[in-house]
Chains A and B, each alone.
Chain A
């Protein structure tokens, strides 16, 4: 398996522009998570999907952020409009649940810089 695949690896955009981050989870994993990592705030959970359904989006900072999972093999995180404070590394992770939880597999991340 190729693991969790995220694209792009790096994104530099101007304030006010729309940004879309993409994630392909490991086949067979039924849970998908979007995290954001910064030096100041560490690893923050943004949203959690289970079987393609959003379960908890309480970590989404504000209405500028939205996430979708149209099928089991694809998810997007969109920021519109982007702001400099959104600059961070965004990780997608997937996991499975079979009579109990299993560990997360993280993608390589997308380093977002908003100027």
Chain B
């Protein structure tokens, strides 16, 4: 079953912060975050594993609440280059991801 992302869209000014949420109805082993710009492929940002391990982008942070089956992506001091659609992908076991519907982020000057 597809994870649910919120909000569906957000508009920011440069320098503002944003939080994107991802929740699943199933127990999770890992959560991935990707950013996709228009006409391009999704690009890996971060992976969070059950047990607390994280691997990924230095300037972006995320959290993973295993009990609530939720993850949040924190974008601080946003830049114009942060614009795009953010997807969370969840895996119950192994490395097979189901992606959420995406959150459109627009950063304006």
Chain A interface residues toward B at CB < 8 A: 31, 33, 35, 42-43, 45, 48, 55-56, 91, 95, 97, 100-109
Name 27 A/B residue pairs within 8 A (Cβ), A-sorted. Answer: A35-B99, A42-B2, A43-B42, A43-B87, A43-B99, A45-B96, A55-B96, A91-B42, A95-B95, A97-B95, A100-B49, A101-B30, A101-B47, A101-B49, A101-B91, A101-B94, A102-B47, A103-B44, A103-B46, A103-B56, A104-B32, A104-B89, A104-B97, A105-B44, A106-B41, A108-B40, A108-B41
Task: Let me know if B56 and A42 touch, CB within 8 A.
Answer: no
Interface size in chain B (residues, C-beta < 8 A):
28
Task: Let me know if A101 and B95 touch, CB within 8 A.
Answer: yes
Give complex CA distance A56, B97 in Å. Answer: 11
